[in-house]
Amino acid sequence: MIFQDASIEEIEQLMKASKEAFKLYRKTPGKKKAVFLRAIAEEIEALGDTLLNLAKSETNLPIPRLVSERGRTLFQLRMFADLLEEGSWVDARLDYADLSRQPLPKPDLRKMLIPVGTVVVFGASNFPFAYSTAGGDTASALAAGCPVIVKGHPAHGGTSEMVAQAVLKAVEKTGMPDGVFAHVHGKNFEVGKALVLHPITKAVGFTGSFIGGKALFDLANQRQEPIPVFAEMGSVNPVILMPEKMKSEAGNIAKTYAASITVGVGQFCTNPGLIIGIENEDLLKFEEVLKEEIEKIAPEQMLNAGIYQNFEGKRTVVLAQEHVEVLAETLIERSAAIQGLPTIAKVKAEVFLNNPTLHQEVFGPFSLMVICKDLEQMQEVLSHLEGQLTATLMAIEAELQENPEISDTLRNICGRLIFNGVPTGVEVGFPMQHGGPFPASTDSRFGAVGPDAIKRFVRPASYQGFPENLLPDELKTDNPLNILRLVQGVWKK
């Protein structure tokens, strides 16, 4: 499918419409917004196999994966609807006046979270549903009370357009203001640039490459009024193989990680791209089993030609570095174009420490093993890693208690620290943190997954000395919404 890039004139019209919509939508009660979000989910669900088959043709993703991702997308929309219906997410806080306080009277102060305004969302290439047109960024921004303008990803423009039409149907059916949602196409970077630089835009959501996310972040900070860009840009997600754990489970861990490295052709931002272990017989066993497993995994088609070319280019660069060896590569030949070859490379720690090229993500079914002499050298490697989305410890409890600096170092550089598991698979829920220190994301305080994603698109605002009838319902003394609030320093309903 071929779609026309949005013009500057079209963007201007959509931005003005979103500004007008915000005047009404920001005052829309939470329960009405919940009805809207549920209607979006229903409209997407009603598209049935037509949507799935179109997405498959555009992304090479298998139908079972797309069914699962669509389910996650519907769940996210309904999750935010539940959040709005319950209402406590606004974090209301009330301190009543005390006019008799000395030496100065205490004013009546009340605070809650309010929406920031128009949010621009950039669709992700590797998640045509869950991180795209009606994905987590859009759902959380609409839940916050913000109009949304989505720039669909050109790799699946037809899918994005179909989902956008479903959202617009929900807008009409639920009586939401015109301009509360809009969708544009744009292969040219100028479209994205115009959206970020427009003065009506108040925040940006992005999931993708470091180059793309950093470019948008820099643009946003060059504006006369800088705005936040919440960009999740991926990472190498280091996995640490502690020696005691490896003594009894090296083979099983290798099988587990062969699957994790290659699931979805390695096209997840949480793909374990770096494995760090200590040179000994147990690690050799791990390497042997990992090699056997990788050699049996057939290459599969990647999302599109651009991602495949990027994978091949970065893979080639890493394998060409001095002292880097190929540990394993699939023995099954490609059966179609743009299939990524499952590959494991290995390198000594001292080489890794002195070669920044080896620290970079290779997006696809690839992982680099770093071989350390001892725990001291392992700690040195960890201390040189950049910010990550995840870090994983394969260990027994005793060795972490004896070497607390290992987990302390990892805790400082990642958003999610995993004990004896795999980083692939991101559970949607309140405790999930999907984001990490730069360059994994542009703001490590926030994540793109779970109900807390709504906090990216709001700001705190206080009311001082206001009459009861002029306060939002969330801040009225009698608590008409029956939400949990912090009143005079005590949480209660």
Q: Which residue has the tokens 């994005």?
A: 160
Residues 6+ away with beta carbon under 8 Å from 235:
269, 270, 273, 361, 386, 387, 388, 389, 390, 414, 436, 439, 440
Q: Which residue is catalytic, options 69, 232, 300, 474?
A: 232
Q: Please report the sign of the dihedral spanned by the C-alpha atoms of residue 170, residue 172, residue 177, residue 181.
A: positive
> Which DSSP string corresponds to 255-274?
HHHHHHHHGGGG-STT---E
Q: Of the candidates 248, 256, 250, 315, which has an alpha carbon nearest to the alpha carbon of residue 277?
A: 250
Q: How far is CA 275 from CA 290, 366, 382, in A?
A: 11, 11, 11
Residue 232 is among the residues annotated as catalytic for this protein: yes
Residue 304 gets which letter from DSSP? -
Distance CA 471, CA 349 (A): 60
CB 14 within 8 A of CB 199: no
Active-site pick, 269, 300, 329, 474: 269
The residues, any chain, with a CB within 8 Å of residue 392's CB and separated by 6 or more, are: 237, 238, 239, 240, 272, 417, 418, 419, 421, 422, 423
456/228 Cα distance (integer angstroms): 9
Active site residue 146: no
User: Which residues does the annotation mark as catalytic?
Assistant: 232, 269
